[in-house]
Amino acid sequence: MVEEVLPKSFEDLIKDVHEIGICGECGGCVSFCSAGDLHAIEMSESGPPHYANKDKCLHCGICYLVCPQTHILDKELNERYNYKISIGNWGKISSSRANSEEIRKNATDGGAVTAILIYLLDKNLINGAIVSKREGPFNRVPFFATTKEELIEAAGSHYDISHGVVSLEKYNSFVPTITELKTVLSSDTMNIAVVGTPCQIMSIRKMQELSILPAHIVKYTLGLFCNLNFSFDAEARKKLEAKFDFSFDNVEKLNVKENLIVQLKNNQMKYIDFKDVHEFARPACFACRDFSNVYADISFGGLGSKDGYTTAVIRTKIGEKLYNNALRDGYIQEPSELNTSVKKSEMLAKVISFGKRKYNRYKKALKERQ
Ligand SMILES: Cc1cc2nc3c(=O)[nH]c(=O)nc-3n(C[C@H](O)[C@H](O)[C@H](O)COP(=O)(O)OP(=O)(O)OC[C@H]3O[C@@H](n4cnc5c(N)ncnc54)[C@H](O)[C@@H]3O)c2cc1C
Ligand code: SF4
Ligand code: SF4
Ligand code: SF4
């Protein structure tokens, strides 16, 4: 008799992801649960999601498939996106920035991401983009931006500590972008762009591979490089302040490139090695192997570019057309002195090197958890 192979279910997700401590609490499984209306599973106050009504679970396995921490669709995605180890598929690498000074002023690096999103809106190629906006001094929330002004407001990673630092909630650089996807669909013909970290873009690609609605409305994926994601509570911030001799009251901006960069209001910079902040990173990040966002249409980061510019790795035909058109129409600029073949090789070498480091970190973490 042939034994029936059942799809993996939420029980397997508990075993394979939650119990080994690598759930990133992204909310993807809860948002796209087939028994969502029946509240089979729900988010927890803190920690991984849990069964709310176990008997309502349909054992369909969708939660397991979309979770960025299961590698169940690796083969399919790697084939579709021509994955090459540590850097993924790429056609062009460049250093660019937004033409608009207003965007650059708000941006994390050169504002290329925001400028390209505005190009998409101006040309009516999208109805809006899922980005993240500041909510309170240290928090960001996923947000569906439909105007140029909203996109500019959502740019960058500046701190706004005008609300007072005393009642600071936990600072968390992770934003549950995937859950926002569930709420934006107002029409089947809608087109959107999504900005996200590698784990977020991977979830979207998994959904597209499986035709899970509404992933079909995502027409452009703008990926961000990501080495680690942090979560600083009050105690962690105190430790950092003492160790690196600064006060969060005086922080103007946080950025990540080759290290964690803290820019103070007096323009003093603190460069903090990633290994010194490992203890504040989200545990799920140690089981993540993608640095350069290998499944995105275009991936962006500060690494490899001089300050005020964004490195872009163009990966898909869609990404190539988008980037070239935004450049042609003057939304972004690519100074030739920053894009010589030598500079491009240097940029590429850095991205590959960080990709390899992250891949090795993932291998080590997996071994330790086995
Ligand atoms: C958590 C995180 C880790 C990163 N790690 C690295 C790194 O190790 N090395 C490196 O070189 N670059 C890293 N980056 C990318 C880098 O910080 C810039 O976002 C990138 O260079 C684009 O710069 P820009 O000025 O063109 O983008 P901008 O024009 O400023 O646009 C940035 C876009 O990203 C969105 N965004 C901001 N925070 C988040 C978030 N947490 N989740 C989803 N979307 C968000 C904004 O809403 C905005 O739409 C990281 C980004 C994030 C969010
Ligand atoms: S119904 Fe499907 S998606 Fe929802 S918890 Fe059960 S197995 Fe997961
Ligand atoms: S990582 Fe996200 S999708 Fe996976 S179990 Fe945790 S909350 Fe669910
Ligand atoms: S390190 Fe990986 S798991 Fe962590 S936020 Fe970045 S992409 Fe997601």
pLDDT single digits (tens) 329-366: 999 999 999 999 999 999 999 999 999 999 999 888 87
Please choose, from the candidates 267, 362, 308, the residue with its C-alpha nearest in 3D space to the C-alpha of residue 101: 308
Domains of the chain: 10-72 (3.30.70.20), 77-231+280-369 (3.40.640)
- Looking from the CA of residue 112, the nearest atom of ligand 1 is 26
From the number of C-beta atoms within 10 Å of its C-beta (0-12, 13-18, 19+), residue 352 rates as middle
Phi-psi region of 6 (alpha: psi -120 to 50; beta: other; left: phi over 0): beta
pLDDT tens-place string over residues 36-95 = 888 999 988 888 999 999 999 999 999 999 898 898 899 999 999 999 888 999 999 999
pLDDT at res. 295: 97
- What residues have CB less than 8 Å from 272, skipping those under 6 apart? 240, 244, 259, 260, 261, 262
Can you tell me which atom of ligand 1 is nearest the CA of 103?
29
Give me the pLDDT at residue 118, please: 98
Residue numbers in the chain where pLDDT is lower than 50: 159-171
Best residue among 37, 57, 178 to mutate for probing ligand 2's pocket (most ligand atoms within 8 Å of CB) is: 57
- Side chain identity at 113, as an amino acid letter? V
What pLDDT was estimated at residue 168?
A: 39
Of all residues in the chain, the percent with pLDDT exceeding 70 is 91
- Among the bound ligands, name the one nearest to the CA of residue 69: 3
SS3 316: coil
| Reported pTM | 0.92
Nearest CA to ligand 3 atom 3: 67
Q: Which atom of ligand 4 is nearest to the CA of 358?
A: 1
